[in-house]
Homo-oligomer: A and B are copies of this chain.
Amino acid sequence: MPRIHFHQQLDELRARLLAMAALAQQNLECVLDAYRTSNLGLCEHVMDNEQAINRSEREVDELAYDLLAMEQPMAIDLRFILAVIKINGDLERIGDQCVNIADRVRLLHGESRVELPIDIERMGEISGNMIRGAIQSLMEADAFLAASILGMDDQVDDMNRDAYTSLMSLMMNDPEAAPHALNALIICRNLERIADHATNIAEDVIFWVRGADIRHGVTVVLD
């Protein structure tokens, strides 16, 4: 009986984390829309979602702590709970980064927009795909899918570096464009960080599914 209860609680933990992941993913889509359409209402929505994400973070951490304290989870269950604790932190940080982007969208609202030599939408799309893939790998316990996320990070890093170079040139040639360019540059850095968090989540899924024992050179047969 207690084991049944334990597995129900593990399911509950998983469900809560996935709900939080959905919020974080929605927030990224929302703030990218807000940037594209300069919609301050969407920025408000991002702020509200952030509050919900913060509440979720506490609840998920509490539930994970209770499970560790009350039960004696072993092997894959223990790894799952530890992965949840880390993923929880990454999702909360993604929420923060979306708020940072929303702040920039609000600042941009008052400024005249200039044509920028960067593709924020594409960068946002890749980061969004990374989060989506990382969460799917979590839902399906799919370490192969998780591993495929890892390489995508380089693309976002490259785009961020290119954005830096081209926005700096723009600022030197057209100082009036500085406010817009600088806000865009910070948005790019936040997207790059979001991609990093997606990478972290994918790594935690691999840790959970394939096992920490891989680090000790032992093959673990999973059930």
A36 within 8 Å of B by Cβ?
no
A1 within 8 Å of B by Cβ?
no
* A182 to B170 CA separation, bound complex (whole angstroms): 12
Across the interface, name the chain B residue whose C-beta is closest to A70. Answer: B74
Nearest CB of chain B from residue A187's CB, rounded to whole Å: 13
Q: If the complex has contacts A58-B215, A58-B216, are A75 and B69 also in contact, measured as CB distance less than 8 A?
A: yes
Stretch touching chain B among A9-17, A23-31, A81-89: A81-89
* A222 to B67 CA separation, bound complex (whole angstroms): 13
Q: If the complex has contacts A68-B78, A78-B65, A82-B68, are A54 and B216 also in contact, measured as CB distance less than 8 A?
A: yes
Please, could you name 26 A-B residue pairs with CB atoms under 8 Å apart, sorted by A? A54-B216, A57-B216, A58-B213, A58-B218, A58-B220, A61-B213, A62-B215, A62-B222, A65-B78, A65-B82, A65-B222, A68-B68, A69-B223, A82-B85, A85-B85, A89-B89, A168-B178, A168-B179, A168-B182, A171-B171, A171-B178, A172-B175, A172-B176, A172-B179, A173-B175, A189-B189
